[in-house]
Amino acid sequence: MKYGTVNSLQSPRFAGVKTFMRMHNIRTFKDVDFAVVGIPFDTCATYRAGARFGPSAIREMSALAAKPYHPELEVDIFEECSGVDFGDLGSVPGYVEESFEVITKEMQEIFANGIIPIAMGGDHSVTLPELRACSAVYGPVALVHFDAHYDTIPEYFGKPYSHGTPFYHAAKEGLVDPSCSIQLGIREGLYGPEDAQNSANLGYESLKASAMHHMTSEQIIEKVYERTKGKKVFLTFDIDFLDPAYAPGTGTPVPGGFSTWEALELIRGLKELDIVGYDIVEVAPAFDGTGITSIAAAGIIQEFMSLIAWRKKNGKL
């Protein structure tokens, strides 16, 4: 059995209930290579909430991208893979820890079945329960983290969980191996120098936007390969890695970011990584205006799916 997508040459792309890229909306753990899954939780946003509607908006726009063949990687997603849309995970609206429990439990079932999840946040706090689930199955993974922010402060208003803290806890809880992990695109203003220090102290390597803007994609990709050393990888992509011109619909936009082309070229270059889980977070449609943030997110997820397909086709999965 192989799960694929509606043929857009038989039913127009604008038709139908909006699953991601017109895949089937079922939650089965059999015969599934990858599953797109929404995590509509945004209680941990420190500025603009609204990422709870991210999964729905990305699904809506993904119809536009419902074409399975990737001409650069020369691979057809659904010829190589079986993929489904798992719908959204549960949560307890307004309650952080209770929600994290639900998310961890449901994600763990995905990892435990050998399925590669592509999670759509939600605010960036959801990556913490995702990593709890991931490490429960795979042990500490290398983190490849695209973001304008470090997200490594220990607490916020005396509380451990916010969308600015997940990678502090991920390191402290041993969910990731910071020595093989790398943060890309950092350019936020800071409360103080200790904000940058936090990341370094935890053992992460960070590539700032100010440096990356003077590097080629090849140089950056090379850095990532060097750092991750062949380990299993979790790739987390905060949409604010992109410049606000490309992704206005997000919780804490930061000027000076990257174009969609730069993002796509970088992701495409990571095809040799052994990525066991992906997420894309912080898409907040209420601030998106014309939908370009969701369109970008859908395109990035399509790239993730193509990476999986390429690896399967080339016997690496």
| Residues 89-118, interacting with a copy of itself (CB under 8 A) | 89-96, 98
Cα angle: 301, vertex 282, 218; to 5 degrees:
50
Q: Which helix (H) or strand (E) holds 207?
A: strand 205-208
Give min distance, CB of 301 to a copy of itself, in A: 11
Give min distance, CB of 131 to a copy of itself, in A: 19
* Contacting residue, 209, 233, 281, 301, with a copy of itself by CB under 8 A: 209
**DSSP secondary structure letter of residue 23:** B
Q: Is 299 in the site for a copy of itself (CB under 8 A)?
A: yes
Collapsing DSSP states into helix, strand and coil, what is residue 133?
Answer: helix
**In the structure encoding, which two tokens stand for residue 22, read together?**
């017109």
Give min distance, CB of 113 to a copy of itself, in A: 20
* Contacting residue, 38, 83, 129, 166, with a copy of itself by CB under 8 A: 38
Q: With contacts defined by CB under 8 A, how many residues of the chain interact with a copy of itself?
A: 99
**Inter-CA distances, 38 with 49, 81, 89, 221, 240, Å:** 16, 20, 6, 28, 18
Site for a copy of itself in 217-256 (CB under 8 A): 243-246, 248-249, 252-256
Taking a C-beta distance cutoff of 8 angstroms, is the pair 50, 163 a contact?
A: no
Q: Is 265 in the site for a copy of itself (CB under 8 A)?
A: yes
Site for a copy of itself in 112-151 (CB under 8 A): none
The C-alpha atoms of residue 317 and residue 309 are separated, in whole angstroms, by: 9
Nearer to a copy of itself, 115 or 297 (CB): 297
* Contacting residue, 264, 269, 274, 313, with a copy of itself by CB under 8 A: 264
What is the separation of C-alpha 241 from the centre of its chain, rounded to a whole number of angstroms?
Answer: 11
What is the separation of C-alpha 156 from the centre of its chain, rounded to a whole number of angstroms?
Answer: 23
Taking a C-beta distance cutoff of 8 angstroms, is the pair 39, 55 a contact?
A: yes
Site for a copy of itself in 41-80 (CB under 8 A): 42-50, 52-53, 56, 59-60, 63-65, 67-72, 74, 76
**DSSP secondary structure letter of residue 231:** -
* Contacting residue, 14, 173, 219, 316, with a copy of itself by CB under 8 A: 14
* Contacting residue, 114, 139, 154, 289, with a copy of itself by CB under 8 A: 289
Q: Is 287 in the site for a copy of itself (CB under 8 A)?
A: yes
Give min distance, CB of 245 to a copy of itself, in A: 4
Give min distance, CB of 163 to a copy of itself, in A: 9
**Inter-CA distances, 169 with 26, 162, 163, Å:** 32, 11, 11
Give min distance, CB of 230 to a copy of itself, in A: 27
Q: Give 193's contacts (C-beta < 8 A, 6+ positions apart).
A: none
Nearest Cα to 184, choosing from 221, 146, 152?
146
Nearer to a copy of itself, 178 or 251 (CB): 251
Which one of 129-137, 173-181, 258-266, 271-279 is the stretch in contact with a copy of itself (CB under 8 A)? 258-266
Peptide bond into 122 cis (omega under 30): yes
Which one of 3-11, 105-113, 174-182, 224-232 is the stretch in contact with a copy of itself (CB under 8 A)? 3-11
Nearer to a copy of itself, 177 or 282 (CB): 282
* Contacting residue, 4, 28, 113, 156, with a copy of itself by CB under 8 A: 156
Instruction: Report which residue type is found at 145.
Output: H
Query: Residue 164: is it exposed, middle or buried by C-beta count within 10 angstroms (0-12/13-18/19+)?
Result: buried
The C-alpha atoms of residue 131 and residue 129 are separated, in whole angstroms, by: 5
Q: Is 13 in the site for a copy of itself (CB under 8 A)?
A: yes
